[in-house]
Amino acid sequence: MPSNHKLAADLLAKAKKLNQEDPLASFKSEFLLPQNVIYVDGNSLGPLSKAAKNRAVEVVEQQWGNSLISSWNVHDWINLPTTVGNKIAKLIGAAPNTVICCDSISVNLFKLLSAALLLSAKQAADDKTDARTLILSQKDNFPTDLYMVQGLGQLLNSGTQTKLELMSVDSKDITRSIEEHGHRIAVLMLTHVNFRNGDIHDLQALTELAHAKGILVLWDLAHSAGVLPLALEECEVDFAVGCTYKYLNGGPGAPGFAYVAERLLPDLQQPLSGWLGHKKPFDFEHDYEKAAGIEQLLCGTPSIISMSVLDAALDMFETISVSDLRAKSIALNDFFQSCVEQINASYSPSDSPLVLACNEQAQMRGSQISYKHPHAYAICQALISEGVISDFRSPDILRIGFSPLFLHFTDMLNAALILTSIVRTKRYTQPQFLIKNKVT
């Protein structure tokens, strides 16, 4: 159709212009992306960078292979959790030495939830008030966050009078729940950017509201770190956790991070008190005495190979401001949405039954767009087969992620053309796309 050719040509011209104006465009060449792939799943697993690849070889062959055990000193493995933590701190507006890299995001969540509960119990005892027994969260939080509260509750509730309870409410009811039940809530635990629809919580306002009710806050930054500007210190956030294999491109299952406000470190007690969190780990003392600083969150020996690769991946962020990343992320997000809408508008409406499952404004959502479709799974598989790697989130969400470091605006146009064409032609109905045998 001529009108469609004209539209495609116009959009291509626009995409090229946006590429030219993009100050981050050249970073794509720092990544080792496969040929003929548009990778819009960096929000699930960030891709390999040249720096990460080189470091993998170095840490395995040079450090482990040649320097062996002495690498703990000569290659400073022992300080890697704080070295990496400090690189992340800069990206989330945290003070130096308040972020540490270790374990997984789930394990770190357990440490900080427990620590928050202990602090809250101490405060209640000091104030001679009843212990607070609720953890307030959101029904559609990422499940692991809810599961960790449930697991901690089962442990704590065995044989004790005080029952720890998860209170999970709809997003719209969070403020009201704080207002109504504030005196019973120990911790407000939320994910800053929702994994399904990309909704962004007002971190500052909710933190302030919670604090006014004596509630500690714990933010999950899995979908924020490295792509949304954050000011943890300025907002007086108490605790945060995050993961490093999404926008930080740290590699599959790269270790998580944990943040604790400096003012809370002296009185903090976390139950996963392994030897590396000890004040003097190599004195091998009988009794645990926690390290004074953020190192108190360390537990066992960290996965050095994975953490080294992450360390190298983070170096790319040294010269980039998170505001620039956010600006480009919004622009990519907006341009993709606009391409999809314009292409669909040039066909009959019945050909494009993709329903937006997120806020309509790119600047109001995280670095992703979500569509609802009864065949979202099959559409996602069809997209992958045509080189557009996106992901599916049960039950019916197609999620497209916008990593500003390696995506160009022309990638957005091409992804939009392929997506709309797959939906329009129903190519996703081919049998190989319909069988749901994949795990992610």
Q: Could you tell me which residues are annotated as the binding site for pyridoxal 5'-phosphate?
A: 105-106, 142-145, 191, 220, 223, 245, 275, 301
Residue 220 falls in the annotated catalytic set:
yes
**Rounded to 5 degrees, what angle do the CA atoms 279, 280, 281 make?**
110
Are residues 218 and 197 in contact, defined by beta-carbon separation less than 8 angstroms?
Answer: no
Dist CA 121 CA 126 (whole Å):
9
User: Shortest gap between Cβ of 368 and a copy of itself (angstroms)?
Assistant: 14
Residues in the chain: 440
User: Shortest gap between Cβ of 346 and a copy of itself (angstroms)?
Assistant: 31
User: Shortest gap between Cβ of 136 and a copy of itself (angstroms)?
Assistant: 15
Sheet of 355-356, strand order: 355-356, 368-372, 397-401, 391-393
Q: Which is nearer to a copy of itself, 269 or 421 (by Cβ)?
A: 269
Element (H, E) at 20: helix 2-21
Are residues 18 and 393 in contact, defined by beta-carbon separation less than 8 angstroms?
Answer: no
Are residues 263 and 269 in contact, defined by beta-carbon separation less than 8 angstroms?
Answer: no
Q: 29 phi and psi, to 5 degrees? A: -70, -10
| Alpha-carbon distances of 142 from 47, 222, 319, 332, 366, rounded to whole Å | 22, 10, 31, 25, 15
Q: Which is nearer to a copy of itself, 97 or 301 (by Cβ)?
A: 301
Amino acid at 426: K
Residue 142 falls in the annotated catalytic set:
yes
Are residues 435 and 77 in contact, defined by beta-carbon separation less than 8 angstroms?
Answer: no
Catalytic residue selected from 103, 199, 220, 391: 220
User: Shortest gap between Cβ of 332 and a copy of itself (angstroms)?
Assistant: 18
Q: Which is nearer to a copy of itself, 4 or 432 (by Cβ)?
A: 432
Amino acid at 93: G
Residue 10 falls in the annotated catalytic set:
no
Q: Which is nearer to a copy of itself, 198 or 255 (by Cβ)?
A: 255
Q: 76 phi and psi, to 5 degrees? A: 55, 35
Residue 372 falls in the annotated catalytic set:
no
User: Shortest gap between Cβ of 434 and a copy of itself (angstroms)?
Assistant: 16
Q: Which is nearer to a copy of itself, 215 or 322 (by Cβ)?
A: 215
Q: Helices (H) and strands (E) in the chain — how many of each?
A: 13, 13
Look at residues 224, 144, 201, 223 and name the one whose alpha carbon lies nearest to residue 391: 223
Catalytic residue selected from 246, 326, 328, 365: 246
Catalytic residue selected from 55, 399, 411, 433: 399
Residue 287 falls in the annotated catalytic set:
no
Catalytic residue selected from 27, 31, 142, 257: 142
Query: Which positions are catalytic?
Result: 142, 220, 245-246, 399
